[in-house]
Chains A and B, each alone.
Chain A
Amino acid sequence: MEQSFLDYYSLEPVTRWIHDTLCGVMPEGWAVFLEGLVLGVVILLAYAVLAVVLIYMERRVCGAFQCRIGPNRVGGKGGLLQVPADVLKILTKEIIRLKNSDHLLYELAPYLVILASVISFSCLPWHKGAGVLDMEVGILFVLAASSIGILGILLAGWSSNSKYTIIGAVRSGAMLVSYELSLGITVLTVVILSGTMSISGIVESQADGWNIFKGHIITLVAFVIYLISGNAEANRGPFDLAEAEQELTAGYHTEYSGMHFGFFYLAEYLNLFITSGIAATLFLGGWMPLHVAGLDGFNAVMDYIPGIVWFLGKTFFVVFLLMWIRWTYPRLRIDQVLNLEWKYLMPLSLLLMLLMVVLKVYGLVF
C-alpha cells in the first residue's frame, strides 16, 4: 500500500535530527538526558492539560445527559475557565495530616497512583514516530505499570486508619485484581491478531484495516469486554464501588484533602483517558487513518488527516462512550461485580483468545 503521506507526517526524521544536532554539541549521554528532561516536562504538561479538558468534558457531557447546562459562568459563555479555576482552588487547599494515620504510606499513596498513571500515559502512541516509551513488550509494560495504581489505592485505604477507607480499598483491590484478568486476556487476543507486543507495531499492523474489523466478530466482542473491564480498572461508574459516595462517602480517599485528593482525582480522569487510548490503539488503529483495502483514492484522502487528530478523535470517542455508560447506569453491588467478571467476562475472553489463535493459525483473519 502506498503510504507516502503517512511518512510525510512522521515525526521520526524530526526527532532524529534533534538528537543528531544535540549530539553534535554535547556528549550523547547529556543529549539523552536533556531530551528526557524536556519530554518529561512535556508529558506532565500534556497530562495536566488533558485532565482539565477531560474534567470539563465530563461536566458538559454529564450536564447534557442530566437535562441541565453544566458549567457556563466562569470564563465566558461556555464556562471554559471553570476547571482551571477549580484547579487553582484545589492547589491552595490545606493538606491535612491525620493524627492516627501511617504518615509515610498515607503520603506516598497518592504519588503511587499518579506515578502509575503517568507511566502508562507515556506509552500512548500519539502519532507516527511520536511514541515516547516504545519497546518490544510495550503493551505488557502498560499493563504492568498501570497495576502499580492498585497498590496506591490499597495503601491509601489502609494508612488512613478509617473504616470507610479500608472497606473502599479492599473493594477496589478485589475488583481491580479480578478485572485485570479479562483486560489482559482481551489485550492478548489483539496481540495474537497483530503478531506483536510493541505498541507501534500493533498500530502499524492495522494499516490495511483496524483490528475491530479484521478479527471478524471476535475483536468486536473483545472490544466490548475491554471497555467493561477498562471501565472497572479506571474505577468509574457503574464500577465505582471503591469510592461509592452513597455508601462509603468517598471510599479509599475519604481522608485526603487538597492536592493529595487532587492526585486521586486527576489519576481517575487520566486513567479514563489511558483506558480509552489503549482501546483506540488496540482496536481502532491508534493514529492510523481509516483505510479500506482496495479504495486507494479514499485511503489517500484519509492520509491527509494527521495521525494525532486520528488518535485524539478515536480516544475521545471512546471516552465519550465510557461517560455515556457512567451517567446512565446505577452502581453494581460488589458480589455482582465479581460474578460478572469471574463467571462471564473471564471465561468469555478466554474463549475469544482461543478462537483467535485458531483463526490466526489457519490464516482466516483479513
Chain B
Amino acid sequence: MTTEEKIKQWCPQAGTETAGETVVHVPADRLEDVCRRLHDDAEEPMDYLRDLVGVDQGEGCLSTYYQLESSRTGSRVMLRADAVEREGRAMLPSVSGLWKTAEIKEREAYDFLGILFTGNPDMRRLFLREDWNGYPLRKDYDMDSNPLDMGNEENADVTEEFRLMPDGTLERRENVVFNPDDFVVNIGPQHPSTHGALRLRTSLDGETVKKIDPVLGYIHRGIEKLSESLTYPQTLAFTDRLDYLSAHQNRHALCMCIERAAGIEISERAQYIRTIMDELQRVASHLLFYSCLVMDMGALTPFFYGFREREMILDIFEETTGGRLIQNYNMIGGVQADIHPDFVRKVKAFTKHMREIIHEYHEIFTDSVIARTRLKGVGKLSREEAISLGATGGTGRATGWSNDVRKRHPYALYDKVDFKEIIYTHGDSWDRYMVRMDEILESCHIIDQLIDNIPAGEFRVKVKPVLKLPEGVFTASVESSRGEFGVFLMSRGDKSPWRLHFRSTGLPLVHTMDTVCRNGKIADLIAIGGTLDFVIPDIDR
C-alpha cells in the first residue's frame, strides 16, 4: 500500500493533486491526526520533515506544504493543508510536537505569510523585526508598508503561544525565553566565531550555557520574494549567494528542478561536469570547515593549511567559470561554458596532492591531545534528535543517520560512481569533524572516477531565454556541502515562479544549537558551532 493510499484510508476527505509532483491535500482539522499516523507508521515512519513551505495560493487562501521522508526506507510524500480562518487570522495546527524542526520552520511561515500555528510554543517572528507590518510573501502585501526604520529593535523575552481549545476557542499564552535575572550574553551579530551576522542570545550560568535563542535575519535579502517577479533564468543568480560554500550544488538543484519541470534532458557531458564541480565544491567547503573549526578552537596555524589547498580548487574554478567564490556556472540545460583545456590535468593533480597532504592536517590537529579532549564527547546529538531536528549533512551522518541525498535519491551521476557514505555513530563534535575529513577523501575518489571519462558532446542544450513552466509543484534536492539543499517550485504556467522556496541547510542546524550546547561551556558552544558548520546567508535567504 502506498503512502497516499494509507492517507486516503485514514482520511477519506483527502484529495490528490497530480500537477507536477503528487501532493496529498489534507483538510486542516485532520492534519494533526494524519501527520501523527504517518510519523508513527510501523513499516515506513515518516520521521523526517524535510521542509515546511508556506504558500499564498491567491484569493485569500494560505496553505502549507509538508515534505516528509522516511529515514528507514527513503520514500517521500508531500502533504498540503489549507489554513482555516479563525478570529480573523489564518490558522493551522502545529506539527512541532512530532517534528522538532517544525518549531522554527513554522515560525518562518508565520513570519512571511502570517499563518498562525496553534500549539507551537514560539510564535515570534523569525527573520523580520518584531514590529514589522504585514506578511511579505502574501500576494497582496504592500511593498511600501514598511519604510526604513533606523530605530532600535527591542527583543521580547516572552513568546506567544496559541492553543486551540476543544470547544473551538483560542487560548493565548506567554512562554518565557529568558527570565529577568538571567545572565544573557549576545554572541553576535558582530562576533569572530559566528561565521557571519548571526546572533545567539545565550544565557549563561558562569561558564555553562543554559539556553540559546538564535536571532536571525540580519542579512536577509528576501530572495524568495524577489524570485517571484523574475524569469526562471534570472532566479538562478540568487542560488550561489545562499550558501556561498555550496554555490555549485545550490544552483545545480535549482537547474535540475527547472529542467525537470520543463522536461529538458541535459547532455552526458554536462552531467559529468556538474558532478565533478559539485564534488570539488564539497572538498573546498570541507577544507574551509577545517580551517574555521581549528580557528574557532584557537589554533591558528592549521587554519592556513586548509586555505592553502582550497586555493588550488578556487584556481581551477576560476579558469573554467571565471568566478572563485560565486561561479554562476550551472545553467538551465547544462553549464555556462565548456571546461578549460587544463581542467582535467589540474583536477587530477589536485586530488593526488590532497591525498598526499591530508596527513599534515591530522598531524597538527587531529592527533593533538587538546583537540581530542575538546571535541570527544562534547555536544552530543542522538540519531532520533538529529532526524527530528532535520539536521542533515555531516551533522546527521555523525549520529548514524544515513541521510546522504546522493545515495538515497541519486541525481546527476551519483548512481554510476562508487562511493561510501561516511557514517559515524557517536554524534559528538569529534564525529562531526571526522565525517567531513573523511568526505574530503571520498569526494576525491568520486572525482577520480569521473575525470578521465568526461564524454565528448555539447555542454549545454539550447533553451529558450524565456521559459514557461507547466502548472504544478516541482521539487529537487541535492546533497550540498552541509546537508540536504532543496528547491520547492510552484508554477502557475507563467514565465516566473508563483512561489520559489529553498530548503536552507543551515536553518535546522542553527535550531540544533540550543539542544546541543545546553550545559556545555562557552568554549564548547564555539566549537560546536564550528562543527555544525552553518553558513549564514543560507539561513537568511
Contact = CB atoms under 8 A, between A and B. Distances in A.
Interface of A: 62, 65-68, 163-164, 167, 171, 237-238, 240-241, 244-249, 327-336
Contacts of B493: none
A333 B364 CA distance: 18
B297 A67 contact: no
Nearest to B185: A163
Contacts of A335: 207, 521
Given A66-B301, A330-B298, A249 B185 contact: no
A330 B304 contact: no
Given A66-B300, A331-B299, 14 more contacts: A167-B204, A240-B298, A244-B298, A246-B193, A246-B296, A247-B193, A247-B523, A328-B364, A329-B370, A330-B298, A330-B299, A333-B374, A333-B521, A334-B207
Interface string B39-70: 00000000000000000000000000000000
Given A163-B185, A247-B522, A249-B192, A65 B370 contact: no
A328 B192 contact: no
B183 interface: yes
B297 A331 contact: yes
A123 B526 CA distance: 40
B368 interface: yes
Contacts of B525: 247
A250 to B, nearest CB: 9
A51 B294 CA distance: 28
A332 to B, nearest CB: 6
A336 B301 contact: no
Given A67-B308, A167-B207, A249-B192, A330 B297 contact: yes
6 contacts: A163-B185, A246-B297, A328-B301, A330-B298, A330-B299, A336-B373
Contacts of A237: 298
Interface in B110-137: none
Nearest to A339: B373
Nearest to A240: B298
Interface in B346-391: 364-365, 368, 370-371, 373-374
B298 A334 contact: no
Nearest to B523: A333
Given A237-B298, A246-B297, A331 B304 contact: no
Nearest to B184: A163
B305 A67 contact: yes
A334 B296 CA distance: 15
B192 A331 contact: no
- Listed from nearest, the 8 A-B pairs whose CB atoms lie closest are A331-B298, A330-B299, A330-B297, A66-B304, A246-B193, A333-B523, A163-B185, A246-B296
Nearest to B297: A330
Interface centre among A68, A164, A237, A245 (most CB of B within 10 A): A245
Contacts of B365: 330
B428 interface: no
A241 B374 CA distance: 14
Contacts of B207: 167, 171, 334-335
B183 A163 contact: yes
A62 B300 contact: yes
A297 B368 CA distance: 45
Contacts of A240: 298
Nearest to A66: B304
A167 B522 contact: yes
A330 B183 CA distance: 28
A65 B301 contact: yes
A50 to B, nearest CB: 24
Nearest to B202: A163
B301 A246 contact: no
Given A167-B207, A246-B297, A330 B370 contact: yes
A238 B298 CA distance: 8
B191 interface: yes
